[in-house]
């Protein structure tokens, strides 16, 4: 051992100390399976780690039902149930990867795959031209997280504890961003109302604009006015420009949450958490994530393909399917986790799951699908029907009112659940 002198560096990064490893070397260390669980243990945990995975039996049933063209209700039901355990497995694989990758990379990973089911179902519906299903399913996911999941969490936590407290600054920052994204959906609705024509005559265009006929036909089915070419072009510009700006805001939100103001989000919640040992090695978790994403894409495609026939044959409103039923598939795992955290009196984590997931959908998934539609020539806009826009606005407003004091109880949870049931009833008869 060398003698300590007055030139010996006090810190490791001083003169003569080992230089920190390059970024790619650190990534390679993260991908190394040395000292991590074996591939056999990893996949055994992945497949048999939850009794909920018994529902994976519906994955092959979904494929068989689609290939043999069984009744639409069977095809819809099998695909519907099959996606539930797949959504839970996506969460498991993402969580196992996050344990090894560190806070920043895991945050980006969760941002990408946290709502993978919504993205997959949305793209599948978008490529099949089911723009209304895309919009209602995304809106339904936001409402499900904000009202049903958060409401059940507040209610369950309130039954066990007289009152639960949480970090109000972080909650208000998240709800403010949720309010911003809600307002950006009001603007296209206001623009449409100002520019629309009341009649059903769609021959108001001087220049042929791709997609305008399908858009106006859908508007007529909803009892809304049509747009001329200039107004429709303006609506597309507003939607695409807003989508790009929302993506930038979401990136800034990630930096705010993970780097500059991370103490607001993790200080209280993580301090109580015990360090979790990974059950899967990094490569196994990554390969499982890709495999489940691929399988989910097929099941989502089958699900979307059966919606039209199921809705017509069994007289189920398509908006109800998109707004209520599809989000149940995507949010099943989050629902259980959020309620479980509330029962442990960890409301920061509960609000992070519910409001954070809603922000991901509104500020990341919706703009992403608008841009994907732009690239694939499926003109998805940020214009939601006036009724849907009002429903979203009042829901965000109620959540803001309830979390601004930093406390929750079972009565607040009951309020959120009641509003969700009223909205579900309204869409059933719409």
Hey, is 266 helix, strand or coil?
A: helix
DSSP 21-84: PPHHHHHHHHH--TTS--HHHHHHHHHHS-GGGGGGGHHHHHHHHHHTT--HHHHHHHHHHHHH
Please provide residue 292's backbone torsions phi and psi, each rounded to the nearest 5 degrees: -70, -35
Which pTM does this prediction carry? 0.78
Residues with Cβ within 8 Å of 116's Cβ and at least 6 positions away in sequence, in order, are 87, 90, 293, 296
Q: What is the residue-level pLDDT of the chain in tens, covering all 430 positions?
A: 455 454 544 444 544 445 555 655 555 555 555 667 888 888 889 888 888 889 999 999 999 999 998 988 899 999 999 988 888 888 888 888 877 776 556 656 766 676 788 888 889 889 888 888 888 888 998 999 899 999 999 999 988 888 888 877 777 778 888 888 888 888 888 887 787 765 444 444 444 455 665 665 655 555 555 566 777 788 889 999 999 999 999 888 888 877 777 776 654 444 444 556 788 888 888 888 889 988 988 888 898 889 888 888 888 888 888 888 888 877 777 777 788 888 888 887 788 788 888 888 999 999 999 999 999 988 888 888 778 888 999 999 999 888 888 888 899 999 999 999 999 999 888 7
Q: Where are the domains of the chain?
A: 39-198+215-429
Give how far Cα 165 sits from Cα of 39, 118, 358, Å: 41, 31, 21
Matching residue, tokens 């059940």:
152
Pick the CATH number of 39-198+215-429 from 2.40.37.10, 1.20.1420.30, 3.40.50.20, 3.40.50.2300: 1.20.1420.30
Residues with Cβ within 8 Å of 335's Cβ and at least 6 positions away in sequence, in order, are 148, 149, 152
Closest-CA residue to 190 (of 379, 386, 366):
386
Q: What angle do CA 313, 319, 320 make, to 5 degrees?
A: 75
Matching residue, tokens 């040992």:
277
């Amino acid at each position: 051992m060398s003698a300590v002198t007055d030139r010996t560096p006090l810190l490791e990064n001083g003169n003569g100390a080992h230089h920190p490893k390059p970024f790619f070397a650190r990534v390679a260390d993260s991908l190394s399976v040395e000292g991590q669980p074996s591939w056999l243990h990893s996949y055994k945990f992945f497949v048999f780690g939850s009794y909920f995975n018994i529902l994976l039996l519906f994955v092959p049933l979904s494929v068989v039902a689609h290939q043999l063209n069984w009744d639409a209700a069977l095809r819809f039901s099998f695909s519907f149930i099959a996606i539930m355990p797949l959504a839970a497995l996506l969460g498991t694989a993402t969580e196992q990867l996050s344990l090894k990758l560190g806070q920043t990379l895991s945050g980006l990973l969760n941002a990408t795959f946290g709502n993978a089911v919504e993205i997959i179902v949305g793209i599948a519906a978008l490529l099949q031209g089911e723009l209304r299903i895309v919009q209602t399913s995304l809106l339904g996911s936001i409402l499900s997280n904000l009202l049903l999941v958060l409401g059940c969490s507040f209610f369950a936590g309130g039954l066990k504890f007289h009152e639960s407290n949480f970090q109000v600054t972080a909650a208000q920052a998240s709800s403010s961003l949720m309010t911003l994204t809600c307002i950006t959906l009001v603007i296209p609705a206001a623009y449409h109302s100002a520019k629309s024509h009341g009649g059903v005559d769609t021959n108001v265009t001087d220049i042929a604009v791709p997609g305008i006929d399908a858009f106006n036909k859908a508007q007529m089915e909803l009892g809304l006015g049509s747009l001329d070419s200039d107004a429709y072009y303006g609506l597309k510009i507003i939607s695409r420009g807003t989508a790009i700006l929302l993506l930038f805001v979401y990136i800034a939100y990630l930096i705010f949450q993970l780097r500059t103001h991370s103490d607001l989000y993790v200080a209280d919640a993580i301090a109580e958490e015990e360090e979790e040992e990974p059950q899967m090695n990094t490569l196994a978790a990554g390969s499982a994530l890709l495999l489940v994403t691929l399988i989910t894409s097929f099941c989502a495609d089958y699900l979307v393909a059966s919606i039209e026939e199921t809705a017509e044959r069994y007289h189920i409103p398509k908006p109800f399917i998109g707004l209520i039923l599809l989000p149940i598939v995507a949010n099943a795992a989050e629902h259980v986790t959020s309620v479980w955290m509330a029962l442990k009196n960890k409301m920061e984590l509960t609000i992070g799951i519910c409001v954070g997931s809603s922000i991901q959908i509104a500020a990341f998934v919706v703009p992403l699908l608008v841009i994907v539609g732009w690239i694939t020539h499926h003109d998805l806009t940020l214009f939601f029907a006036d009724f849907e826009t009002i429903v979203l606005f009042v829901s965000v407003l109620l959540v803001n009112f309830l979390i601004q004091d930093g406390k929750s109880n079972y009565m607040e949870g009951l309020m959120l659940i009641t509003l969700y049931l009223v909205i579900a009833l309204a869409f059933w008869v719409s």
